Amino acid sequence: MENFEHLSESEFTELRMTFYSQAYETVENLRDMVLGLDACPGNQDLLKTLKRHIHTLKGDSNSLGLTGVGTLCHKMEDVLVRYTEWIEADENAVTELLLECADTLDRLLVESDSGRTGADITGILGRIDARLGTSFPEKFAEGTGDPLTEYQKLHIDNASGSGLKLFEVAVTFHPLCGEKTVAAMMVAEKLKKTGEIIRSLPDLDGGQIDSARSINILLASKADRAEIGKSAFIACIAEEVEVSDYRRTDGPAGDTRPVETSPLPGSAQQYRGQGGEILRIDAGKVDHIMNLIGELIIGRSIIDQATRDIGEGIASVEVSSRLRAANEHMEQTLSALQKGVMKMRMVPVYNAFRRFPKLVRELSAKRDKKVRIELIGSDTELDKGIVDALGEPLSHIIRNSIDHGIEAPPVRIASGKKEEGLIALRAYHEAASVVIEVSDDGRGIDCDKLRKMAVEKGLIGPEGSDSLSVDDTLDLVFLPGLTTAESLSETSGRGVGMDAVKTSVEGLKGSIEVESSEGVGTVIRLKLPLTLAVIKALLVEAGGTQYALPVSSVAEVTRISTDDLVNAGGTRALILRDRVISILSLNEIFSAEGGDDTKKIALILTMGDRKVGLLVDRVLGQQQIVMKNVEGNVAKSDLVAGASILGNGRVVLILDAPSIMKKAVADGKKRMAGA
């Protein structure tokens, strides 16, 4: 049994963080493998891998005193021993039981990591034992005041005759110690080094310790109270240790001396698990970064020597040549270093996708539907921060697909579809972005009904509803409170909460769009940047001020004159290759004085099939910039996504392309309403 007393507090904290990081990942893998077995029950290799993961988690948990996790893992091993036998009788029930075990493990880990204890697992253990044909006590009583056995009395007499002192060691478990059986054994092992244990309440070999608040050990020892107390105190296991002389009340001497207690000096400081973020990085990527750091050091040495030569008056063409070469070397190395660091933060979107097979399985069963999910492009990589934030918006989209997109089996059969519905979750690269699509083969969105509901709720005027295009109509699902569902549930119709989904995606500097064909299905497409930290930007100038726009948002740049602009329904527009494109002026947006009024440059911004033109005075070129958040008092416009500092020390605002396009659409609707 491991003992971590030799570790410092910081080392033990790091050990806990590593354990929880690996344990959470293991539980996710357990879910994946259980669902994999559900799809292919005869896969013996997968069954062996599942057993190995559970056994590893059991051992790691027990070594840290998390016996609740260890006990449940042990029971899961018992289930898997009979898995092949049970699936023939009731495959679905066994899968449900194992998934419930995985969920319980996750809950136990979260509670212990955050410092909460006392999680009751008797229910799940009872259900497992009911299948195994064994019994599990529903409640344990804390053993106190148990009489001494004849053997223990004899042991006490022998110890007293040998000159040993008798102590009662009361160990109050730390609030973080939810796994008390192993913790008590660790304390006992330490105390055995100082003497002999005669009795323990509750019994070390019994099953009552997990429900106990403390444990009382009768110890025969030559050591003093301070030494015994120090041995019994183990960080994060003992909250308090109290050592007192044993007072025997049943012996011939009837010793009733006052009990002298000695609490351990410096009681344990309460520890709270600091979950933190642990990013697993391939060792090769770290080695690559180290090599680049070495290249930077070489470049700095070249510049340093050239600077010395100039300081000593050795200014020559050769020194100038060395400086130029060093500058190019540093530029190339920094570029490679930036890409290397970005790759270190890149993780597969599978980390976000992996939760959805279980979600689909549970919701489809709850709705009496048959739904299958396909994960495509799960190895596509994105910045870890973006992947972590994708869970909630994707969950809501998938819930809506199951609740109100996929039809019930009889309806699907009647319409000529397969009984089982399909949700495809797909990720792929597109230019400098990653696109994530959630598609279903359900009933699609009824545009007429959507427009009608928007009018009834006062979200759009009745006079303008008939003129809305299909794309504009589908965009109505992102308006707060709009739904075409005939009944509400916890996963209500498309539109309820979709405004929050759009807000989340735009908060990630991405965009979202909807495609739907009634009776065929719906596709919701999220377009996201590879990273939020460094972007390739197009620098422009308007009214003497420089701005930056992500290159991925700019479809093309074209020079125009004011004669090229037309009035389309009260909106200023540009006809580009037979397409009417709404135009906004950056000068007008920020109330700046423009340059030449007759000649402008139009940036054609794109989001899906939508295009909007943005007029600027000059285009300064492309540059990679580091995006920084700005405070509200610095940039009060929601059209600003952030700011960056250029090489010349100048600060530029980074414009939010989706917000600019949204403004163009809103301005157009206002003009139409005014007309």
Where does 271-347 have alpha helices with state H? 283-311, 317-345
* Domain end call among 508, 529, 550: 529
If one counts every other C-beta atom within 10 angstroms of the C-beta of residue 82, the result is 13
139 domain-assigned: no
How distant, in Å, are the alpha carbons of 285, 322, 452 from that of 299? Answer: 21, 10, 66
Provide the pLDDT for residue 255.
Answer: 41
pLDDT for residue 542 is more than 80: yes
* Domain end call among 529, 563, 594: 529
Shared domain for 122 and 239, answered yes or no, is no
Provide the pLDDT for residue 427.
Answer: 93
d(CA 328, CA 338): 15
273 domain-assigned: no
> What domain count does the chain have?
5
Residues 32-55, mean pLDDT to the nearest whole number: 87
Which of 149-158, 499-508, 521-530, 631-640 is predicted least confidently?
631-640
**Average pLDDT score, the chain:** 78
pLDDT for residue 217 is more than 80: yes
Q: In what order do the strands lie in the sheet with 238-245?
A: 195-201, 214-221, 165-173, 238-245, 261-263
Question: Helices 9-39 and 356-366: crossing angle, nearest 10°?
Answer: 50
For residue 493, give the 3-state DSSP assignment. coil
Shared domain for 313 and 253, answered yes or no, is no
Which of 159-168, 234-243, 436-445 is predicted least confidently?
234-243
Shared domain for 340 and 371, answered yes or no, is no
What string of DSSP letters covers 185-208?
Answer: HHHHHHHHTTEEEEEEES-TTSS-
Shared domain for 551 and 653, answered yes or no, is yes
Shared domain for 500 and 376, answered yes or no, is yes
The number of residues in the chain equals 675
pLDDT for residue 416 is more than 80: yes
268 domain-assigned: no
269 domain-assigned: no
Shared domain for 409 and 518, answered yes or no, is yes
Provide the pLDDT for residue 420.
Answer: 92
Residue with more model confidence, 50 or 482: 50
Provide the pLDDT for residue 371.
Answer: 92
272 domain-assigned: no
Residues 4-25, mean pLDDT to the nearest whole number: 77
Residues 175-194, mean pLDDT to the nearest whole number: 81
Select from 533, 542, 524 the least CA-distant residue to 588: 542
Residues 25-43, mean pLDDT to the nearest whole number: 86
- Tens of pLDDT, residues 118-171: 567 888 888 888 777 643 333 322 333 445 666 677 778 778 778 888 888 888
Provide the pLDDT for residue 179.
Answer: 74
Residue with more model confidence, 202 or 206: 202
Q: What whole-number percentage of the chain has pLDDT above 70?
A: 80
Provide the pLDDT for residue 486.
Answer: 55
User: Where in the sequence is the domain holding 539, given as residue range(s)?
Assistant: 534-674
Shared domain for 159 and 237, answered yes or no, is yes
pLDDT for residue 487 is more than 60: no
Shared domain for 67 and 186, answered yes or no, is no
If you average pLDDT over each of 7-16, 123-132, 414-423, 622-631, which comes out highest?
414-423
pLDDT for residue 496 is more than 50: no
274 domain-assigned: no
Q: Which residues contact 649 (CB under 8 A, 6 or more apart)?
A: none
What residue has token string 């310790």? 209
Shared domain for 374 and 415, answered yes or no, is yes
Provide the pLDDT for residue 671.
Answer: 57
pLDDT for residue 424 is more than 90: yes
Residues 194-221, mean pLDDT to the nearest whole number: 81
What residue has token string 């600091």? 274
* Domain end call among 330, 347, 364: 347
Shared domain for 517 and 407, answered yes or no, is yes
Could you tell me the CATH number of the domain that includes residue 15? 1.20.120.160
Shared domain for 337 and 363, answered yes or no, is no
How distant, in Å, are the alpha carbons of 149, 243, 255, 343, 357 from that of 167? Answer: 18, 7, 14, 60, 57
363 domain-assigned: yes
Provide the pLDDT for residue 423.
Answer: 94
Could you tell me the CATH number of the domain that includes residue 467? 3.30.565.10
Torsion of CA 383, 384, 385, 387, to 10 degrees: 90
141 domain-assigned: no
Q: In what order do the strands lie in the sheet with 433-440?
A: 371-376, 421-430, 433-440, 521-529, 511-517
Could you tell me the CATH number of the domain that includes residue 182? 3.30.70.1110
Q: Is the dihedral of CA 443, 445, 447, 451 positive or negative?
A: positive
Q: What is the pTM of this model?
A: 0.60
How distant, in Å, are the alpha carbons of 45, 93, 361, 607 from that of 88? Answer: 18, 11, 20, 51
Shared domain for 366 and 492, answered yes or no, is yes
Could you tell me the CATH number of the domain that includes residue 633? 2.40.50.180
